Structure 1
Amino acid sequence: MDKISIIAIIGGLAAIIVGQALEGGHIGSLFQLTAFMIVIGGTASAVMLQSTPKQFVTGLRMARWVFQPPQFDHEKTIRDVIHWSQSARKGGLLSLEGYVAQQQDPFHRKALQMLVDGTEPETLRSVMEVEISMFEHARRQSTRIWESAGGYAPTMGILGAVLGLIHVMENLSDPSKLGSGIAVAFVATIYGVGSANLLFLPIANKLKNLVAAEVAMRELIVEGLVAIGHGENPRIIENRLRGFLAMHD
Protein backbone atom coordinates (compact mmCIF):
# COMPACT_ATOMS: atom_id res chain seq x y z
CA MET A 1 0.00 0.00 0.00
CA ASP A 2 1.39 3.38 -1.06
CA LYS A 3 0.63 5.46 2.04
CA ILE A 4 1.94 8.69 0.57
CA SER A 5 -0.77 8.64 -2.11
CA ILE A 6 -3.50 8.26 0.51
CA ILE A 7 -1.98 11.04 2.62
CA ALA A 8 -1.67 13.30 -0.43
CA ILE A 9 -5.30 12.88 -1.52
CA ILE A 10 -6.69 13.29 1.99
CA GLY A 11 -4.40 16.25 2.61
CA GLY A 12 -5.45 18.00 -0.61
CA LEU A 13 -9.17 17.60 0.06
CA ALA A 14 -8.73 18.61 3.69
CA ALA A 15 -6.87 21.78 2.68
CA ILE A 16 -9.79 22.87 0.51
CA ILE A 17 -12.46 22.03 3.08
CA VAL A 18 -10.58 23.60 6.00
CA GLY A 19 -9.79 26.66 3.89
CA GLN A 20 -13.49 27.03 3.11
CA ALA A 21 -14.35 26.76 6.81
CA LEU A 22 -11.69 29.29 7.85
CA GLU A 23 -13.12 31.80 5.42
CA GLY A 24 -16.48 31.43 7.14
CA GLY A 25 -18.10 29.50 4.32
CA HIS A 26 -20.40 26.53 4.70
CA ILE A 27 -18.73 23.21 3.91
CA GLY A 28 -22.01 21.89 2.52
CA SER A 29 -21.88 24.48 -0.26
CA LEU A 30 -18.95 22.57 -1.79
CA PHE A 31 -21.10 19.52 -2.40
CA GLN A 32 -23.24 19.99 -5.51
CA LEU A 33 -24.47 16.88 -7.30
CA THR A 34 -25.30 18.79 -10.47
CA ALA A 35 -21.81 20.26 -10.73
CA PHE A 36 -20.28 16.85 -10.03
CA MET A 37 -22.33 15.22 -12.81
CA ILE A 38 -21.40 17.91 -15.33
CA VAL A 39 -17.66 17.86 -14.62
CA ILE A 40 -17.01 14.16 -13.98
CA GLY A 41 -19.59 12.87 -16.47
CA GLY A 42 -18.45 15.26 -19.20
CA THR A 43 -14.76 14.52 -18.57
CA ALA A 44 -15.32 10.74 -18.62
CA SER A 45 -17.29 11.01 -21.87
CA ALA A 46 -14.60 13.10 -23.56
CA VAL A 47 -11.85 10.68 -22.51
CA MET A 48 -13.89 7.69 -23.70
CA LEU A 49 -14.46 9.37 -27.07
CA GLN A 50 -10.74 9.84 -27.71
CA SER A 51 -9.69 6.37 -26.52
CA THR A 52 -10.13 2.82 -27.70
CA PRO A 53 -12.08 0.52 -25.35
CA LYS A 54 -8.90 -1.37 -24.47
CA GLN A 55 -6.94 1.79 -23.68
CA PHE A 56 -9.75 3.15 -21.53
CA VAL A 57 -10.30 -0.04 -19.54
CA THR A 58 -6.58 -0.67 -19.08
CA GLY A 59 -6.07 2.91 -17.92
CA LEU A 60 -8.82 2.56 -15.32
CA ARG A 61 -7.32 -0.70 -14.07
CA MET A 62 -3.89 0.88 -13.80
CA ALA A 63 -5.32 3.50 -11.42
CA ARG A 64 -4.99 0.98 -8.58
CA TRP A 65 -1.22 1.33 -8.98
CA VAL A 66 -1.54 4.72 -7.27
CA PHE A 67 -2.34 2.89 -4.03
CA GLN A 68 -0.85 -0.55 -4.77
CA PRO A 69 2.07 0.00 -7.14
CA PRO A 70 3.73 -3.04 -8.72
CA GLN A 71 6.88 -4.12 -6.94
CA PHE A 72 10.10 -4.32 -8.95
CA ASP A 73 12.76 -6.30 -7.12
CA HIS A 74 15.84 -5.24 -9.05
CA GLU A 75 18.23 -6.93 -6.64
CA LYS A 76 16.50 -10.30 -7.10
CA THR A 77 16.56 -9.85 -10.86
CA ILE A 78 20.29 -9.15 -10.83
CA ARG A 79 20.89 -12.19 -8.60
CA ASP A 80 18.86 -14.34 -11.01
CA VAL A 81 20.82 -13.13 -14.02
CA ILE A 82 24.14 -13.76 -12.26
CA HIS A 83 22.95 -17.25 -11.30
CA TRP A 84 21.98 -17.94 -14.91
CA SER A 85 25.36 -16.64 -16.06
CA GLN A 86 27.21 -18.97 -13.71
CA SER A 87 25.09 -21.94 -14.83
CA ALA A 88 25.70 -21.10 -18.49
CA ARG A 89 29.48 -20.93 -17.96
CA LYS A 90 29.47 -24.36 -16.34
CA GLY A 91 26.92 -26.25 -18.43
CA GLY A 92 26.32 -24.14 -21.52
CA LEU A 93 23.18 -22.26 -22.53
CA LEU A 94 21.07 -25.44 -22.61
CA SER A 95 21.55 -25.72 -18.86
CA LEU A 96 19.24 -22.70 -18.52
CA GLU A 97 16.27 -24.55 -19.99
CA GLY A 98 15.07 -25.59 -16.55
CA TYR A 99 14.72 -21.94 -15.52
CA VAL A 100 12.42 -21.02 -18.39
CA ALA A 101 9.29 -22.60 -16.92
CA GLN A 102 10.00 -20.93 -13.58
CA GLN A 103 9.52 -17.45 -15.03
CA GLN A 104 6.08 -16.04 -14.25
CA ASP A 105 6.50 -13.01 -16.49
CA PRO A 106 5.87 -13.98 -20.16
CA PHE A 107 8.47 -11.43 -21.28
CA HIS A 108 11.19 -12.95 -19.09
CA ARG A 109 10.18 -16.43 -20.18
CA LYS A 110 10.31 -15.56 -23.88
CA ALA A 111 13.70 -13.81 -23.62
CA LEU A 112 15.27 -16.65 -21.67
CA GLN A 113 13.83 -19.22 -24.08
CA MET A 114 15.36 -17.38 -27.03
CA LEU A 115 18.74 -17.48 -25.29
CA VAL A 116 18.40 -21.22 -24.60
CA ASP A 117 17.44 -21.81 -28.24
CA GLY A 118 20.78 -20.37 -29.31
CA THR A 119 19.54 -17.04 -30.69
CA GLU A 120 22.38 -14.65 -31.48
CA PRO A 121 22.72 -12.08 -28.65
CA GLU A 122 22.21 -9.06 -30.91
CA THR A 123 19.21 -10.71 -32.57
CA LEU A 124 17.77 -11.39 -29.12
CA ARG A 125 18.32 -7.74 -28.19
CA SER A 126 16.69 -6.52 -31.40
CA VAL A 127 13.60 -8.73 -31.04
CA MET A 128 13.05 -7.97 -27.37
CA GLU A 129 13.63 -4.23 -27.80
CA VAL A 130 10.83 -4.16 -30.36
CA GLU A 131 8.60 -5.93 -27.86
CA ILE A 132 9.62 -3.49 -25.13
CA SER A 133 8.84 -0.56 -27.42
CA MET A 134 5.39 -1.91 -28.24
CA PHE A 135 4.71 -2.65 -24.59
CA GLU A 136 5.77 0.87 -23.53
CA HIS A 137 3.64 2.47 -26.23
CA ALA A 138 0.55 0.53 -25.16
CA ARG A 139 1.12 1.35 -21.49
CA ARG A 140 1.62 5.05 -22.18
CA GLN A 141 -1.50 5.21 -24.33
CA SER A 142 -3.46 3.80 -21.39
CA THR A 143 -1.95 6.21 -18.84
CA ARG A 144 -2.71 9.08 -21.20
CA ILE A 145 -6.43 8.87 -20.36
CA TRP A 146 -5.63 10.41 -16.96
CA GLU A 147 -3.54 13.15 -18.54
CA SER A 148 -6.38 13.86 -20.95
CA ALA A 149 -8.86 13.93 -18.06
CA GLY A 150 -6.67 16.58 -16.44
CA GLY A 151 -7.00 18.66 -19.60
CA TYR A 152 -10.75 18.24 -20.09
CA ALA A 153 -11.89 18.65 -16.46
CA PRO A 154 -11.22 22.42 -16.14
CA THR A 155 -13.06 23.02 -19.41
CA MET A 156 -16.00 20.99 -18.15
CA GLY A 157 -15.87 23.11 -15.00
CA ILE A 158 -16.19 26.25 -17.11
CA LEU A 159 -19.07 24.62 -18.99
CA GLY A 160 -20.80 23.89 -15.68
CA ALA A 161 -20.23 27.50 -14.61
CA VAL A 162 -21.80 28.82 -17.81
CA LEU A 163 -24.79 26.49 -17.42
CA GLY A 164 -25.21 27.69 -13.83
CA LEU A 165 -25.13 31.32 -14.91
CA ILE A 166 -27.67 30.60 -17.64
CA HIS A 167 -29.90 29.14 -14.96
CA VAL A 168 -29.41 32.32 -12.90
CA MET A 169 -30.27 34.58 -15.81
CA GLU A 170 -33.43 32.61 -16.52
CA ASN A 171 -34.65 33.10 -12.96
CA LEU A 172 -33.79 36.73 -12.24
CA SER A 173 -37.41 37.31 -11.41
CA ASP A 174 -37.35 34.57 -8.76
CA PRO A 175 -34.67 35.36 -6.14
CA SER A 176 -35.20 32.01 -4.41
CA LYS A 177 -33.60 30.21 -7.35
CA LEU A 178 -30.60 32.48 -7.79
CA GLY A 179 -28.57 30.96 -4.98
CA SER A 180 -28.60 27.41 -6.36
CA GLY A 181 -27.66 28.55 -9.84
CA ILE A 182 -24.73 30.62 -8.64
CA ALA A 183 -23.57 27.75 -6.39
CA VAL A 184 -23.55 25.31 -9.30
CA ALA A 185 -21.64 27.85 -11.41
CA PHE A 186 -18.78 28.33 -8.98
CA VAL A 187 -18.65 24.82 -7.52
CA ALA A 188 -18.42 23.34 -11.04
CA THR A 189 -15.30 25.42 -11.61
CA ILE A 190 -13.83 24.18 -8.33
CA TYR A 191 -14.59 20.58 -9.28
CA GLY A 192 -13.01 21.00 -12.71
CA VAL A 193 -9.79 22.71 -11.63
CA GLY A 194 -9.52 20.76 -8.37
CA SER A 195 -9.99 17.29 -9.88
CA ALA A 196 -7.50 18.06 -12.66
CA ASN A 197 -4.73 19.32 -10.38
CA LEU A 198 -5.34 17.19 -7.28
CA LEU A 199 -6.23 13.89 -8.95
CA PHE A 200 -6.03 13.41 -12.71
CA LEU A 201 -2.66 15.01 -13.54
CA PRO A 202 -0.85 13.63 -10.45
CA ILE A 203 -2.24 10.16 -11.19
CA ALA A 204 -1.05 10.43 -14.80
CA ASN A 205 2.47 11.44 -13.75
CA LYS A 206 2.70 8.70 -11.13
CA LEU A 207 1.60 6.06 -13.63
CA LYS A 208 4.17 7.33 -16.13
CA ASN A 209 6.92 6.86 -13.56
CA LEU A 210 5.72 3.34 -12.77
CA VAL A 211 5.60 2.46 -16.48
CA ALA A 212 9.16 3.75 -16.84
CA ALA A 213 10.24 1.52 -13.94
CA GLU A 214 8.48 -1.45 -15.54
CA VAL A 215 10.23 -0.81 -18.85
CA ALA A 216 13.61 -0.43 -17.09
CA MET A 217 13.12 -3.84 -15.48
CA ARG A 218 12.60 -5.43 -18.89
CA GLU A 219 15.60 -3.65 -20.33
CA LEU A 220 17.63 -4.91 -17.38
CA ILE A 221 16.70 -8.51 -18.19
CA VAL A 222 17.57 -8.09 -21.87
CA GLU A 223 20.91 -6.49 -21.04
CA GLY A 224 21.76 -9.37 -18.74
CA LEU A 225 20.74 -12.11 -21.17
CA VAL A 226 22.66 -10.49 -24.03
CA ALA A 227 25.76 -10.40 -21.82
CA ILE A 228 25.26 -14.09 -20.99
CA GLY A 229 24.94 -14.83 -24.70
CA HIS A 230 28.28 -13.12 -25.28
CA GLY A 231 29.81 -15.32 -22.57
CA GLU A 232 30.85 -12.44 -20.34
CA ASN A 233 32.17 -13.01 -16.83
CA PRO A 234 29.43 -12.99 -14.14
CA ARG A 235 31.24 -10.26 -12.20
CA ILE A 236 31.37 -8.04 -15.27
CA ILE A 237 27.68 -8.70 -15.90
CA GLU A 238 26.81 -7.77 -12.34
CA ASN A 239 28.76 -4.51 -12.54
CA ARG A 240 27.12 -3.67 -15.86
CA LEU A 241 23.61 -4.34 -14.55
CA ARG A 242 24.19 -2.26 -11.44
CA GLY A 243 25.50 0.56 -13.57
CA PHE A 244 22.50 0.20 -15.88
CA LEU A 245 20.20 0.30 -12.86
CA ALA A 246 21.88 3.44 -11.51
CA MET A 247 21.26 5.19 -14.82
CA HIS A 248 17.51 4.55 -14.48
CA ASP A 249 17.12 5.53 -10.83
Structure 2
Amino acid sequence: MDILSIFGVIIGFAAILGGNYLEGGTLAALVNVPAAVIVIGGTTGAAMLQTPLSGLKLAISRLRWVFSPPNLAFNKGVDKVVRWAIAARKEGLLGLESIAETEVDFFARKGLQLLVDGSEPESIRSIMEVESMLLEQRDLDASRFYESMGGYSPTIGIIGAVMGLIQVMSNLSDPAMLGSGIAIAFVATIYGVGFANLLLLPIASKLRNLARREADFRDLIIEGIISIAEGENPRAIELKLNGFLHR
Protein backbone atom coordinates (compact mmCIF):
# COMPACT_ATOMS: atom_id res chain seq x y z
CA MET A 1 0.00 0.00 0.00
CA ASP A 2 1.36 3.40 -1.02
CA ILE A 3 0.75 5.57 2.05
CA LEU A 4 2.06 8.68 0.28
CA SER A 5 -0.68 8.48 -2.37
CA ILE A 6 -3.36 8.10 0.29
CA PHE A 7 -2.06 11.08 2.25
CA GLY A 8 -1.79 13.06 -0.97
CA VAL A 9 -5.47 12.59 -1.77
CA ILE A 10 -6.51 13.35 1.80
CA ILE A 11 -4.36 16.49 2.06
CA GLY A 12 -5.44 17.78 -1.34
CA PHE A 13 -9.15 17.53 -0.67
CA ALA A 14 -8.75 18.62 2.96
CA ALA A 15 -7.01 21.80 1.79
CA ILE A 16 -9.87 22.64 -0.57
CA LEU A 17 -12.62 21.87 1.93
CA GLY A 18 -10.71 23.51 4.77
CA GLY A 19 -10.14 26.65 2.74
CA ASN A 20 -13.83 26.74 1.86
CA TYR A 21 -14.72 26.46 5.55
CA LEU A 22 -12.29 29.20 6.56
CA GLU A 23 -13.87 31.50 4.01
CA GLY A 24 -17.26 30.92 5.63
CA GLY A 25 -18.54 28.39 3.10
CA THR A 26 -20.31 25.12 3.84
CA LEU A 27 -19.86 21.61 2.50
CA ALA A 28 -23.44 21.64 1.22
CA ALA A 29 -22.57 24.56 -1.07
CA LEU A 30 -20.03 22.35 -2.90
CA VAL A 31 -22.40 19.40 -3.35
CA ASN A 32 -24.31 19.63 -6.59
CA VAL A 33 -25.49 16.45 -8.31
CA PRO A 34 -26.24 17.98 -11.76
CA ALA A 35 -22.76 19.51 -11.87
CA ALA A 36 -21.18 16.17 -10.90
CA VAL A 37 -23.16 14.35 -13.60
CA ILE A 38 -22.07 16.85 -16.25
CA VAL A 39 -18.38 16.81 -15.33
CA ILE A 40 -17.88 13.14 -14.46
CA GLY A 41 -20.12 11.79 -17.19
CA GLY A 42 -18.86 14.15 -19.88
CA THR A 43 -15.20 13.61 -19.01
CA THR A 44 -15.52 9.83 -18.88
CA GLY A 45 -17.45 9.72 -22.14
CA ALA A 46 -14.90 11.87 -23.98
CA ALA A 47 -11.99 9.74 -22.75
CA MET A 48 -13.79 6.52 -23.66
CA LEU A 49 -14.44 7.84 -27.17
CA GLN A 50 -10.71 8.07 -27.89
CA THR A 51 -9.75 4.77 -26.21
CA PRO A 52 -10.15 1.23 -27.58
CA LEU A 53 -11.81 -1.34 -25.34
CA SER A 54 -8.53 -3.14 -24.61
CA GLY A 55 -6.92 0.17 -23.60
CA LEU A 56 -9.84 1.01 -21.32
CA LYS A 57 -9.64 -2.36 -19.56
CA LEU A 58 -5.90 -1.89 -19.06
CA ALA A 59 -6.34 1.65 -17.72
CA ILE A 60 -8.92 0.45 -15.20
CA SER A 61 -6.74 -2.46 -14.08
CA ARG A 62 -3.70 -0.17 -13.72
CA LEU A 63 -5.63 2.21 -11.46
CA ARG A 64 -4.84 0.00 -8.46
CA TRP A 65 -1.14 0.76 -9.00
CA VAL A 66 -1.75 4.27 -7.65
CA PHE A 67 -2.37 2.95 -4.14
CA SER A 68 -0.83 -0.52 -4.46
CA PRO A 69 2.16 -0.26 -6.83
CA PRO A 70 4.08 -3.34 -7.99
CA ASN A 71 6.83 -4.37 -5.61
CA LEU A 72 10.04 -3.76 -7.56
CA ALA A 73 12.89 -4.58 -5.20
CA PHE A 74 15.95 -3.80 -7.31
CA ASN A 75 18.32 -5.22 -4.70
CA LYS A 76 16.46 -8.55 -4.79
CA GLY A 77 16.59 -8.44 -8.57
CA VAL A 78 20.37 -8.07 -8.46
CA ASP A 79 20.64 -10.96 -5.99
CA LYS A 80 18.48 -13.15 -8.24
CA VAL A 81 20.59 -12.46 -11.32
CA VAL A 82 23.78 -13.19 -9.37
CA ARG A 83 22.32 -16.55 -8.30
CA TRP A 84 21.60 -17.32 -11.95
CA ALA A 85 25.18 -16.41 -12.85
CA ILE A 86 26.58 -18.68 -10.15
CA ALA A 87 24.36 -21.56 -11.30
CA ALA A 88 25.40 -21.02 -14.93
CA ARG A 89 29.09 -21.02 -13.97
CA LYS A 90 28.76 -24.24 -11.97
CA GLU A 91 26.39 -26.22 -14.19
CA GLY A 92 26.52 -24.45 -17.55
CA LEU A 93 23.66 -22.63 -19.25
CA LEU A 94 21.58 -25.82 -19.30
CA GLY A 95 21.63 -25.68 -15.51
CA LEU A 96 19.31 -22.66 -15.77
CA GLU A 97 16.53 -24.71 -17.33
CA SER A 98 15.03 -25.80 -14.01
CA ILE A 99 15.32 -22.21 -12.73
CA ALA A 100 13.50 -20.92 -15.81
CA GLU A 101 10.64 -23.36 -15.26
CA THR A 102 10.00 -22.06 -11.73
CA GLU A 103 10.58 -18.34 -12.42
CA VAL A 104 7.35 -16.43 -11.79
CA ASP A 105 8.30 -13.29 -13.74
CA PHE A 106 7.43 -14.05 -17.36
CA PHE A 107 9.95 -11.49 -18.69
CA ALA A 108 12.82 -13.01 -16.73
CA ARG A 109 11.59 -16.51 -17.64
CA LYS A 110 11.73 -15.59 -21.32
CA GLY A 111 15.30 -14.34 -20.96
CA LEU A 112 16.38 -17.47 -19.13
CA GLN A 113 14.80 -19.65 -21.79
CA LEU A 114 16.72 -17.77 -24.48
CA LEU A 115 19.90 -18.46 -22.51
CA VAL A 116 19.11 -22.15 -22.22
CA ASP A 117 18.37 -22.34 -25.94
CA GLY A 118 21.88 -21.04 -26.65
CA SER A 119 20.87 -17.77 -28.32
CA GLU A 120 23.60 -15.25 -29.09
CA PRO A 121 23.90 -12.29 -26.67
CA GLU A 122 22.96 -9.71 -29.31
CA SER A 123 19.95 -11.77 -30.33
CA ILE A 124 18.84 -12.03 -26.70
CA ARG A 125 19.25 -8.28 -26.23
CA SER A 126 17.28 -7.48 -29.36
CA ILE A 127 14.39 -9.78 -28.44
CA MET A 128 14.15 -8.64 -24.83
CA GLU A 129 14.51 -4.93 -25.58
CA VAL A 130 11.66 -5.08 -28.08
CA GLU A 131 9.53 -6.92 -25.52
CA SER A 132 10.38 -4.37 -22.83
CA MET A 133 9.63 -1.44 -25.13
CA LEU A 134 6.20 -2.83 -26.00
CA LEU A 135 5.38 -3.45 -22.35
CA GLU A 136 6.42 0.09 -21.43
CA GLN A 137 4.34 1.53 -24.27
CA ARG A 138 1.33 -0.45 -23.07
CA ASP A 139 1.71 0.89 -19.54
CA LEU A 140 2.19 4.45 -20.79
CA ASP A 141 -1.01 4.13 -22.83
CA ALA A 142 -2.86 3.36 -19.58
CA SER A 143 -1.50 6.56 -18.03
CA ARG A 144 -2.54 8.58 -21.11
CA PHE A 145 -6.18 7.62 -20.51
CA TYR A 146 -6.17 9.49 -17.20
CA GLU A 147 -4.06 12.27 -18.68
CA SER A 148 -6.70 12.78 -21.37
CA MET A 149 -9.43 12.82 -18.72
CA GLY A 150 -7.45 15.49 -16.88
CA GLY A 151 -7.38 17.53 -20.08
CA TYR A 152 -11.09 17.18 -20.78
CA SER A 153 -12.34 17.71 -17.21
CA PRO A 154 -11.78 21.50 -16.92
CA THR A 155 -13.35 22.05 -20.35
CA ILE A 156 -16.38 19.95 -19.44
CA GLY A 157 -16.57 22.00 -16.24
CA ILE A 158 -16.78 25.16 -18.35
CA ILE A 159 -19.55 23.57 -20.41
CA GLY A 160 -21.39 22.89 -17.16
CA ALA A 161 -20.85 26.51 -16.11
CA VAL A 162 -22.27 27.78 -19.40
CA MET A 163 -25.27 25.47 -19.06
CA GLY A 164 -25.89 26.88 -15.59
CA LEU A 165 -25.69 30.43 -16.86
CA ILE A 166 -28.12 29.58 -19.68
CA GLN A 167 -30.53 28.38 -17.01
CA VAL A 168 -30.03 31.61 -15.08
CA MET A 169 -30.65 33.78 -18.14
CA SER A 170 -33.77 31.85 -19.09
CA ASN A 171 -35.28 32.24 -15.62
CA LEU A 172 -34.55 35.88 -14.83
CA SER A 173 -38.24 36.40 -14.21
CA ASP A 174 -38.27 33.62 -11.60
CA PRO A 175 -35.86 34.44 -8.73
CA ALA A 176 -36.42 31.00 -7.19
CA MET A 177 -34.66 29.38 -10.15
CA LEU A 178 -31.66 31.66 -10.17
CA GLY A 179 -29.92 30.04 -7.21
CA SER A 180 -29.75 26.52 -8.70
CA GLY A 181 -28.51 27.82 -12.04
CA ILE A 182 -25.74 29.87 -10.48
CA ALA A 183 -24.77 26.92 -8.25
CA ILE A 184 -24.40 24.61 -11.24
CA ALA A 185 -22.35 27.25 -13.05
CA PHE A 186 -19.76 27.73 -10.34
CA VAL A 187 -19.71 24.24 -8.82
CA ALA A 188 -19.28 22.58 -12.24
CA THR A 189 -16.18 24.70 -12.81
CA ILE A 190 -14.80 23.70 -9.40
CA TYR A 191 -15.49 20.03 -10.12
CA GLY A 192 -13.84 20.16 -13.53
CA VAL A 193 -10.66 21.90 -12.40
CA GLY A 194 -10.56 20.09 -9.05
CA PHE A 195 -10.90 16.56 -10.44
CA ALA A 196 -8.28 17.27 -13.08
CA ASN A 197 -5.65 18.68 -10.75
CA LEU A 198 -6.33 16.73 -7.57
CA LEU A 199 -6.98 13.29 -9.07
CA LEU A 200 -6.73 12.70 -12.80
CA LEU A 201 -3.43 14.38 -13.72
CA PRO A 202 -1.63 13.13 -10.57
CA ILE A 203 -2.89 9.60 -11.30
CA ALA A 204 -1.57 9.83 -14.86
CA SER A 205 1.80 11.08 -13.64
CA LYS A 206 2.03 8.34 -11.01
CA LEU A 207 1.28 5.60 -13.54
CA ARG A 208 3.80 7.09 -15.96
CA ASN A 209 6.52 7.06 -13.30
CA LEU A 210 5.68 3.48 -12.35
CA ALA A 211 5.83 2.42 -16.01
CA ARG A 212 9.32 3.88 -16.27
CA ARG A 213 10.39 2.18 -13.05
CA GLU A 214 9.14 -1.16 -14.37
CA ALA A 215 11.12 -0.54 -17.56
CA ASP A 216 14.23 0.15 -15.45
CA PHE A 217 13.73 -3.16 -13.65
CA ARG A 218 13.44 -4.98 -16.97
CA ASP A 219 16.67 -3.25 -18.08
CA LEU A 220 18.33 -4.74 -15.01
CA ILE A 221 17.15 -8.21 -16.03
CA ILE A 222 18.30 -7.68 -19.62
CA GLU A 223 21.78 -6.57 -18.58
CA GLY A 224 22.03 -9.50 -16.20
CA ILE A 225 20.95 -12.04 -18.80
CA ILE A 226 23.39 -10.63 -21.39
CA SER A 227 26.23 -10.65 -18.88
CA ILE A 228 25.55 -14.32 -18.10
CA ALA A 229 25.42 -15.11 -21.82
CA GLU A 230 28.82 -13.46 -22.27
CA GLY A 231 30.27 -15.53 -19.43
CA GLU A 232 31.07 -12.68 -17.06
CA ASN A 233 32.12 -13.37 -13.48
CA PRO A 234 29.18 -13.30 -11.01
CA ARG A 235 30.98 -10.72 -8.87
CA ALA A 236 31.51 -8.47 -11.89
CA ILE A 237 27.85 -8.85 -12.80
CA GLU A 238 26.83 -7.84 -9.30
CA LEU A 239 29.01 -4.72 -9.38
CA LYS A 240 27.58 -3.76 -12.77
CA LEU A 241 23.95 -4.22 -11.75
CA ASN A 242 24.39 -2.35 -8.48
CA GLY A 243 24.23 0.81 -10.59
CA PHE A 244 20.49 0.18 -10.98
CA LEU A 245 20.04 0.55 -7.22
CA HIS A 246 20.54 4.32 -7.54
CA ARG A 247 17.69 4.85 -9.99
Taking the TM superposition and a 5 Å limit, the aligned residue runs for 1:18-167 are 18-167=18-167
For each residue in 1:28-61, what CA deviation from the matched residue of structure 2 results, as whole angstroms up to 9, or x when unmatched? 0100000001001000001000111111111111
Contact 1:220/1:245, CA 8 A, preserved across alignment: no
Contact 1:66/1:206, CA 8 A, preserved across alignment: yes
| Match of residue 11 from structure 1 | 11
Q: SS of the residue aligned with 1:110?
A: helix
Mapped partners of 1:138, 1:67: distance in 2: 20
Q: SS of the residue aligned with 1:51?
A: coil
When the two structures are superposed, what TM-score results if normalisation uses the length of structure 2? 0.98
Q: SS of the residue aligned with 2:102?
A: coil
Q: SS of the residue aligned with 2:118?
A: coil
For each residue in 1:168-221, what CA deviation from the matched residue of structure 2 results, as whole angstroms up to 9, or x when unmatched? 011000000100100000000000000000000001111111111111111111
Mapped partners of 2:80, 2:18: distance in 1: 51
| Match of residue 177 from structure 1 | 177
Between stretches 135-144 and 188-197, larger displacement belongs to: 135-144
Where does the alignment leave 5 or more consecutive residues of structure 1 unmatched?
Answer: none
Mapped partners of 2:108, 2:132: distance in 1: 11
Contact 1:59/1:143, CA 8 A, preserved across alignment: yes
For each residue in 1:110-169, what CA deviation from the matched residue of structure 2 results, as whole angstroms up to 9, or x when unmatched? 111000110001100001101111111111111100110110000000000000000101
Check 1:69–1:244 CA distance in 2 against 1; reply closer, same or farther (3 A cut). Answer: closer
Name segments (4+ residues, structure 1) moved above 6 Å: none
Where does the alignment leave 5 or more consecutive residues of structure 2 unmatched?
Answer: none
Mapped partners of 2:245, 2:130: distance in 1: 20
Between stretches 78-87 and 163-172, larger displacement belongs to: 78-87
Q: SS of the residue aligned with 1:101?
A: helix
The alpha-carbon deviation at position 245 of structure 1 amounts to 3.8
Whichever residue aligns with residue 3 of structure 2, its letter is K
Matched length: 247
| Match of residue 236 from structure 1 | 236
